Amino acid sequence: MQGSNVDVGHQLAAAATRFGFEIDAAAVERVRLLLGLWHRFGRAFNLSGATDEAGLLGHVLEGLQVVGLAHAIGWHAGQSWIDVGSGAGFPGLVVAACLEVQVTLVEPRERRASFLDLAINQIGRRDCRVVRGHIEGSSWRPIKAGEIVAASSFDWASARAVFAPEVWVELGKRWVKSGGVVVAHVRAETDPFTGEVGRVDDARWSIRGVRGG
């Protein structure tokens, strides 16, 4: 993984340009650290079916599409972002690596949540947090007592491969503030959602932003 850092940097920069933004050196370094962690701990923590560099990089590039959407719509430093069902951290960890937003990563499984904690610390984003639990409509059901997540309190909400896109768009609207954005992963040919305010397309996925509230 380390031997291909230069090539990875070029691929990240090229993808970011394709998705409409420039990735800075600090973000590239954070993503490199994440790639190393995913490669090192993927099997032990049962993180993802992809364990080789090419497969992991594909997930990262999809995360960069989400970052591109945030740039296209207009993100601001210090905003809040919830990533539901974070799993291995796609796209939540990529967002944390590239944007100065306060990310809440929701993951019910203990081993994956432990990995997310490790990754957040390794990339120096201690202003982000990992919580274990489930969202059910507008309700939060924690697994660990004392961890509180409030509906209608986030500027951005994402969930990858957790809900059907149309279900997630309606559910996500309950978790963003008035005017917040729900991020959905859909096929490119999918019709626009009501309230859609932006999209970033690639060969496999179209990342859509839908205004809540």
The CATH architecture of the domain made up of 2-211 is: 3-Layer(aba) Sandwich (3.40)
What residues form the annotated binding site for S-adenosyl-L-methionine?
85, 90, 135-136, 160
| End-to-end alpha carbon distance in the chain | 43
Tokens of 80: 């809040």
Tokens of 140: 């939060």
Can you say how many angstroms the Cα of residue 38 is from the centroid of all Cα atoms in its chain? 15
Q: What is the mean pLDDT of residues 89-118?
A: 96
Tokens of 117: 């904690």
What residues form the annotated binding site?
85, 90, 135-136, 160
Choice among 41-50, 125-134, 169-178, 181-190 with the minimum mean pLDDT: 41-50
Of the pLDDT bands very low, low, confident and very high (cuts 50, 70, 90), residue 202 is: very high
Quick: pLDDT tens for 146-188: 899 999 999 999 999 899 999 999 999 999 999 999 999 999 8
Q: Which of 94, 186, 172, 166 is nearest to 137 (CA)?
A: 172
* Pairing label, strands 196-201, 206-211: antiparallel
Q: What is the mean pLDDT of residues 75-91?
A: 96
